[in-house]
């Protein structure tokens, strides 16, 4: 198979996944403004579960979920319940573009947690990447209107919520490497949404909005749950099968691009030069920290 045919097998779906996950910030914002943090996160995973559960049975992987339910449901709390709640909160105060740029730090935290938890000590290139990535985050936070204000509704809490979410994604990666190896992806995807749904059930119901949300909020929630969570998982695992986990995970670099473009077109958000420069610094640091490339100056001769 020629190189052109090889990339044609995965590139369209790769770009589509980046678009879907990039758009998720816009749809989450539409929902969170009226549903609030907890109810938005709970309904998102519940809708995704409705999409994924029939597919689990059709693919014959229900037995694996039953056998490994404890670590799979635990994965749902780490990788879905907490992050989705954090982003639902953050998107009520900061832009979708800003949230998506902070989301790009997920592989940074993954590399850092792999170092601390799994003993995967980074070399100097990866250490430089970690430093660059966190410098980019600091510059981005400092350049926001109001900076790191910790007052009610301030940027500081929203930024910390995004970073807690990306830390959870890093923990989820390490957790899956230690406890979920060899389990069918469909069982993991469906079971993790079940775990998140159970974890968010009580706060989701308790904080149900007193004012009925309008049709646009429901639309945002349905798209975020069915397309950006349920169907995105299926696309994600298809790509892993076609082109491998490392290349599939690099979709992180497309998400801020699509999130910012969609935010500008649909919500009228602004992209500033500070956001662009900080995004480049964060993405460069993330690429270095995850070994996607090494500076030519540091290559052995």
Residues of the chain with confidence (pLDDT) below 70: 1-9, 117-122, 141-154, 241, 244-250, 286, 289-301
For 34, the token pair is 């009226």
- Mapped onto helix, strand or coil, the DSSP state of residue 214 is coil
- Contact by Cβ (8 Å): 164, 109: no
pLDDT for position 265: 81
229 Cβ neighbours under 8 A, 6+ residues apart: 24, 44, 45, 47, 48, 51, 80, 193
Domain spans of the chain, in order of start: 3-298
What is the crossing angle of helices 185-206 and 37-58, to 10°? 150
Q: Following DSSP, what letter does each residue of 241-280 receive, concatenated? A: HHH-HHHHHGGGGTHHHHHHHHHHHHH-----HHHHHHHH
Cα torsion 117, 118, 119, 121: sign: negative
- Contact by Cβ (8 Å): 220, 28: yes
pLDDT for position 208: 96
Phi/psi zone of residue 164: left (φ > 0), alpha (ψ -120 to 50 degrees), beta? alpha
- Contact by Cβ (8 Å): 88, 37: yes
241 exposed, middle or buried (CB, 10 Å; 0-12, 13-18, 19+)? exposed
DSSP 8-state class, residue 227: I
Q: How far apart are CA 161 and CA 284, in angstroms?
A: 22
DSSP 8-state class, residue 149: -
- Contact by Cβ (8 Å): 115, 121: yes
């Amino acid at each position: 198979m020629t190189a052109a045919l090889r990339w044609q097998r995965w590139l369209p779906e790769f770009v589509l996944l980046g678009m879907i996950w990039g758009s998720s910030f816009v749809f989450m914002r539409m929902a969170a403004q009226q549903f609030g943090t907890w109810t938005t996160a709970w309904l998102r995973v519940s809708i995704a579960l409705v999409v994924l559960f029939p597919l689990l049975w059709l693919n014959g992987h229900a037995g694996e979920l039953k056998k490994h339910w404890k670590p799979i449901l635990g994965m749902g709390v780490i990788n879905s319940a907490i992050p989705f709640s954090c982003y639902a909160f953050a998107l009520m105060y900061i832009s979708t573009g800003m949230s998506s740029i902070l989301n790009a730090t997920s592989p940074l935290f993954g590399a850092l947690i792999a170092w601390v938890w799994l003993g995967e000590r980074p070399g100097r290139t990866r250490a430089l990447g970690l430093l660059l990535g966190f410098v980019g985050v600091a510059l981005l936070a400092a350049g926001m209107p109001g900076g790191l204000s910790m007052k009610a509704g301030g940027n500081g809490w929203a930024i910390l919520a995004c970073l807690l979410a990306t830390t959870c994604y890093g923990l989820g990666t390490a957790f899956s490497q230690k406890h979920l190896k060899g389990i069918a992806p469909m069982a993991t995807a469906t079971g993790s949404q079940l775990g998140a749904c159970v974890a968010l059930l009580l706060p989701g119901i308790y904080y149900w909005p007193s004012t009925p949300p309008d049709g646009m909020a429901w639309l945002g929630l349905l798209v975020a749950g069915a397309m950006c969570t349920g169907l995105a998982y299926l696309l994600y695992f298809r790509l892993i099968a076609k082109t491998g986990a490392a290349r599939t995970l690099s979709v992180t670099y497309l998400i801020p691009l699509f999130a910012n473009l969609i935010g500008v077109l649909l919500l009228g958000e602004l992209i500033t030069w500070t956001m662009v420069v900080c995004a480049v610094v964060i993405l460069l640091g993330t690429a270095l920290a995850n070994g996607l490339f090494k500076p030519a100056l540091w290559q052995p001769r």
